[in-house]
């Protein structure tokens, strides 16, 4: 598998990109309309969150039919047209494959419930539940109809885990993957794929809410290898990424090393937990720069030395906007957005841009709990109240942490509903849309900087292929790294604060040239003062 490392992926949350029917939900025709915009930005691949038939208990991650289109997004002909039009602009699609679980409304689960033994073996059904917790709160087991038994759901109660030990399950799921391959898609993002390998006998695991019982089990590697062989492995140009929950470097090297024939790359989330107090998401605390730097350095260096490949990202549909978390957006939104972009686009791995990131979108700043729709937020709010937090405290936490923060409609212009829809959007538009929207930002510094970063990756092998080495490891403000390739060297300095900081430039770089900065007047010397959120990339 020869992965093309010059490529950049753009993630679209289809419900929120562009609505052409006025029903308040984005659709395929809306995406088709925006393909020239994506081509202007220069991205190569679009990752689409799930658009399959689904009761939408978890916004489409609860799939009731894997090989069809939810009519709110259009029909199969629209899908095919979208793939075709995008290809004319050299853009391919990466589809979200949710193969760890399916909706309890899927016919497999419905047949199982009706007593069909063949389909009961598709799930984890047992007499007694274990002590594992669901990632959305509460027990991970729920009563299986009125049988007196229980079925496993690591996520919502309507998302039943599929039993990959059963070869019939694997056969069905591989058919799904091939169905979409035949439609001309060129990539897959596999949802929580490191959770598919459960033990043969499921027992209590008091440690870490049960995670060790089902996370990164050695058998996952076998399943991925089988899937690779049965589906996309035949096509060299395919790009696959696994979403890895609570994973390790050792496993990510194995998931992504080309000679293993598993996946092209892996997402991990450790760097997005540096603003969790004691590892708990539903808390508010400033981000821990030391920890962020340590994580980036360890992962960057190890993956580089050991031949692994990472997906690099700051935002996705499960995360509040990185700008709100890492940047003083009142004073330095442009500088912060461009610095964050450079810190991953110049690094080793495949960069992912989440819709709106390229124009510096921020969290919506909702006023009331009634504005939130995500099942996780609603459960968490109740949990926080139960823990004794006041409604104000609980709301503040949801405001900072809700997944809805990134799922708000794309801000296209300053007109009503931000130009996303003529009807009432399924999720309220963010308050900032009059100031932050595509129409305004396309001539602004953030969009231009992203274009430049994408172009540079295509032109410069040192960016796409170079090795990763930590730099300035003791700095308390600057996250810096080097890239090396065939005698060429690149140093990238990223200042994470709104102050000025002096940096001693390593000798060999003092006579180099500034490849890129988010400030105009960057000059090289023995010592350089980095401005607020400055990025400086030096090439020798």
Residues annotated as catalytic (active site), given as ranges: 191, 243
Residue 17: name the closest of 406, 536, 523, 451 by CA.
Answer: 406
Q: How far is the CB of 319 from ligand TEU (least distance, A)?
A: 8
Residue 294: name the closest of 249, 339, 251 by CA.
Answer: 249
Q: Does 426 bind ligand TEU (CB under 6 A)?
A: no
* Whole-angstrom distance, CA of residue 92 vs CA of residue 419: 25
CA atoms within 13 A on the CB side of 534: 22
Q: Does 245 bind ligand TEU (CB under 6 A)?
A: yes
Cβ-based nearer residue to ligand TEU, 135 or 495:
135
Q: Given candidates 135, 198, 297, 407, which one binds ligand TEU under the rule CB under 6 A?
A: 135
* Whole-angstrom distance, CA of residue 494 vs CA of residue 338: 10
Cβ-based nearer residue to ligand TEU, 13 or 395:
13
Q: Given candidates 191, 275, 357, 482, which one binds ligand TEU under the rule CB under 6 A?
A: 191
Q: How many CB atoms lie within 10 A of CB 30?
A: 24
Q: How many CB atoms lie within 10 A of CB 376?
A: 23
Compute the C-alpha angle 316/76/74, nearest 5°.
65
Q: Does 98 bind ligand TEU (CB under 6 A)?
A: yes
Cβ-based nearer residue to ligand TEU, 42 or 50:
50
Report helix, strand and coil shares of the chain as percent, to nearest 5.
Answer: 40, 15, 45
* Whole-angstrom distance, CA of residue 435 vs CA of residue 421: 18
Q: Does 61 bind ligand TEU (CB under 6 A)?
A: yes
Q: Residue 368 carries which DSSP code?
A: S
Q: How far is the CB of 60 from ligand TEU (least distance, A)?
A: 8
Q: How far is the CB of 522 from ligand TEU (least distance, A)?
A: 37
Q: How far is the CB of 98 from ligand TEU (least distance, A)?
A: 5
User: What are 462's two structure tokens?
Assistant: 């040192």
* Whole-angstrom distance, CA of residue 204 vs CA of residue 200: 13
Q: Does 446 bind ligand TEU (CB under 6 A)?
A: no
Distance, first Cα to last Cα, the chain: 31
Q: Does 58 bind ligand TEU (CB under 6 A)?
A: yes
Instruction: Give the containing element (helix H, strand E) for 463.
Output: helix 461-465
Cβ-based nearer residue to ligand TEU, 352 or 449:
352
Q: How far is the CB of 100 from ligand TEU (least distance, A)?
A: 7
Task: Give Cα separations from 89 to 32, 44, 49, 499, 529 (angstroms).
Answer: 11, 9, 21, 42, 42
Find the binding residues for ligand TEU in span 155-174 (CB under 6 A): 155
Contact 474, 455 (CB under 8 A): no
Cβ-based nearer residue to ligand TEU, 252 or 490:
252
Q: How far is the CB of 493 from ligand TEU (least distance, A)?
A: 30
Q: Does 338 bind ligand TEU (CB under 6 A)?
A: no
Q: Does 411 bind ligand TEU (CB under 6 A)?
A: no
In the three-class reduction of DSSP (H, G, I as helix; E, B as strand; rest coil), residue 95 is classed as: strand
Cβ-based nearer residue to ligand TEU, 104 or 535:
104
Q: How does strand 159-161 pair with strand 488-495?
A: unpaired
Residue 438: name the closest of 118, 8, 78, 33 by CA.
Answer: 33
Q: How far is the CB of 64 from ligand TEU (least distance, A)?
A: 14
Q: Does 13 bind ligand TEU (CB under 6 A)?
A: no
Residue showing the smallest CB distance to ligand TEU in the complex = 61
Q: How many CB atoms lie within 10 A of CB 527?
A: 9
Q: Does 281 bind ligand TEU (CB under 6 A)?
A: yes
Cβ-based nearer residue to ligand TEU, 7 or 317:
317
Q: Does 318 bind ligand TEU (CB under 6 A)?
A: yes
Cβ-based nearer residue to ligand TEU, 120 or 245:
245
Find the binding residues for ligand TEU in span 455-514 (CB under 6 A): none
Binding mask 371-390 for ligand TEU (x = CB under 6 A): -----x--------------
Q: How far is the CB of 486 from ligand TEU (least distance, A)?
A: 38
Q: Does 192 bind ligand TEU (CB under 6 A)?
A: yes
Compute the C-alpha angle 314/460/43, nearest 5°.
45
Query: Would you tell me which residues interact with ligand TEU (CB under 6 A)?
Result: 58, 61, 98, 135, 155, 191-192, 243, 245, 281, 317-318, 376
């Amino acid at each position: 598998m020869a992965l093309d490392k010059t490529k950049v992926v753009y993630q679209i949350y289809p419900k929120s990109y562009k609505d052409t029917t006025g029903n308040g939900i984005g659709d395929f025709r809306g995406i088709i309309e925006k393909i020239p915009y994506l081509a202007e930005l220069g991205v190569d691949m679009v990752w689409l969150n799930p658009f399959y038939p689904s009761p939408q208990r978890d916004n489409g991650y609860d799939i009731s039919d894997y090989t069809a289109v939810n009519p709110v997004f259009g029909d199969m002909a629209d899908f095919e047209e979208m793939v075709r039009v995008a290809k004319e602009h050299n853009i391919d699609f990466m589809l979200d494959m949710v193969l760890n679980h399916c909706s309890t409304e899927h016919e497999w689960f419905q047949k199982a419930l009706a007593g069909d033994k063949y389909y009961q073996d598709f799930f984890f059904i047992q007499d007694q539940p274990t002590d594992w917790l669901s990632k959305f709160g509460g027990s991970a087991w729920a009563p299986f109809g009125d049988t007196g038994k229980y079925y496993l759901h690591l996520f919502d109660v309507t998302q039943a885990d599929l039993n990959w030990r059963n070869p019939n399950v694997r056969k069905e799921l591989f058919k799904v993957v091939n169905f979409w391959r035949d439609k001309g898609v060129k990539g897959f993002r596999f949802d929580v794929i490191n959770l598919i390998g459960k033990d043969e006998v499921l027992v209590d695991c008091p440690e870490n809410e049960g995670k060790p019982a089902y996370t990164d089990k050695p058998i996952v590697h076998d399943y991925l290898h089988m899937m690779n062989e049965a589906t996309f492995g035949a096509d060299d140009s395919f790009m696959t990424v696994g979403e890895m929950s609570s994973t390790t470097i050792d496993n990510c090297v194995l998931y992504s090393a080309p000679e293993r024939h598993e996946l092209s790359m892996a997402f991990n989330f450790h760097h997005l937990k540096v603003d969790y107090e004691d590892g708990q998401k539903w808390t508010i605390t400033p981000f821990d720069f030391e920890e962020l730097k340590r994580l980036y350095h360890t992962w960057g260096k190890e993956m580089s030395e050991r031949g692994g490949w990472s997906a690099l990202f700051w935002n996705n549909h499960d995360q509040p906007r990185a700008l709100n978390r890492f940047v003083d957006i009142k004073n330095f939104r442009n500088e912060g957005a461009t610095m964050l972009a450079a810190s991953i686009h110049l690094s080793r791995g495949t960069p992912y841009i989440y819709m709106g990131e390229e124009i510096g979108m921020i969290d919506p700043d909702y006023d009331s709990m009634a504005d939130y729709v995500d099942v996780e937020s609603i459960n968490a709010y109740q949990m926080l109240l139960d823990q004794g937090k006041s409604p104000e405290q609980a709301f503040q936490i949801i405001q900072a942490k809700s997944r809805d923060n990134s799922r708000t409609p794309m801000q296209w212009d300053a007109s009503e509903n931000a130009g996303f829809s003529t009807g009432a959007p399924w999720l309220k538009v963010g308050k900032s849309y009059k100031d932050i929207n595509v129409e305004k930002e396309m001539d602004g510094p953030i969009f231009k900087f992203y274009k430049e970063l994408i172009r540079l990756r295509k032109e410069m092998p040192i960016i796409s292929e170079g090795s990763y080495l930590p730099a300035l490891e003791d700095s308390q403000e600057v996250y810096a790294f080097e890239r090396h390739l065939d005698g060429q060297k690149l140093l990238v300095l990223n200042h994470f604060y709104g102050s000025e900081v002096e940096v001693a430039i390593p000798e060999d770089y003092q006579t180099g040239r500034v490849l890129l900065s988010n400030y105009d007047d960057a000059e090289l010397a023995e010592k350089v003062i980095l401005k607020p959120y400055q990025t400086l990339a030096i090439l020798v």
